Amino acid sequence: MSEAVRSERRGGVLEITLDRPKANAIDVATSHRLGEIFRDFSENPELRVAIVTSAGERFFSAGWDLKAAAGGEDVDTDFGPGGFAGIQQIMRLDKPVIAAVNGLAIGGGFELALAGDLRVAAEHVEFALPETLVGVVADVATILLPRFIPRAVALDLLLTGRRMDAAEAGRWGLVNAVVPAGDLMSKAREWAGLIVAGAPLSVAAIKQLARRTETLTFAESMAGIDDGRFEAYQRMLDSEDAREGPRAFAEKRAPVWRGR
């Protein structure tokens, strides 16, 4: 029997593959495993970027395993570190996560894709939030989706449960790119390679600033920078890498990042 979640390291990139036929639905054990993998990713300084995808082509993930729910798992279940599918863990990371969406992203599967920083979708992909049809609420999507696309469009998806195809998701900016299915992983790996080429402390500072200033005004955000409240940003300013970058540019060579 194959593992429900596989992880493979490619240099500084960790590729995480959900593999639970037939729909890549997520039960408690799978959720715990995803949370553990993302926690380990966050703690390993040699890993810079994660790509999360799924086996097969029909489903990225159908979200919460309703068969497991019918057997006793409920919304109050302990889904492990980072909550359901490790989503909260992902959103706290100062490292980028790329969602390579290869099939239907339904409910919690849609939320897993939303938790990523960048999203690339295969042309045949569809997204949907049918939670009202089973008597629950897609809480993460209800909070996040209106931040990514117009509120009226977000509420349309949340209230009706209709499917949005990849082309429409691309028009609204919900996904960064829509590509043929055969090009999905190469596109995700291309993005990951570009990120890995950058200074790790700069990447961490960008993620932390973007996350922690989301509810602040511009003036409040700049005051936080001036006061040294954003640790990752301050660490970047004081780093060897911040001196290495300009030096490498002046010497017309590739920088050698130390992450310190």
> CA angle, 150 as apex, 149 and 156 as ends, to 5°?
95
Beta bridge partners of 10: 13
Cα separation, 55 vs 66, in Å, equals 20
111 in catalytic set: yes
- Write the single-letter amino acid at 137: V
Catalytic residue among 15, 73, 126, 131: 131
Tell me the DSSP string of 192-231: HHHHHTS-HHHHHHHHHHHHHTTTS-HHHHHHHHHTT--H
Q: Helices marked H in 12-160 — which ranges?
A: 28-43, 66-70, 87-92, 108-115, 139-148, 151-160
49 φ, ψ (degrees, to nearest 5) = -140, 145
Question: Before 67, cis peptide (omega within 30)?
Answer: no
| Residue among 15, 73, 111, 126 flagged as catalytic | 111
Is 190 in the active site?
no
Active centre residues (catalytic): 111, 131
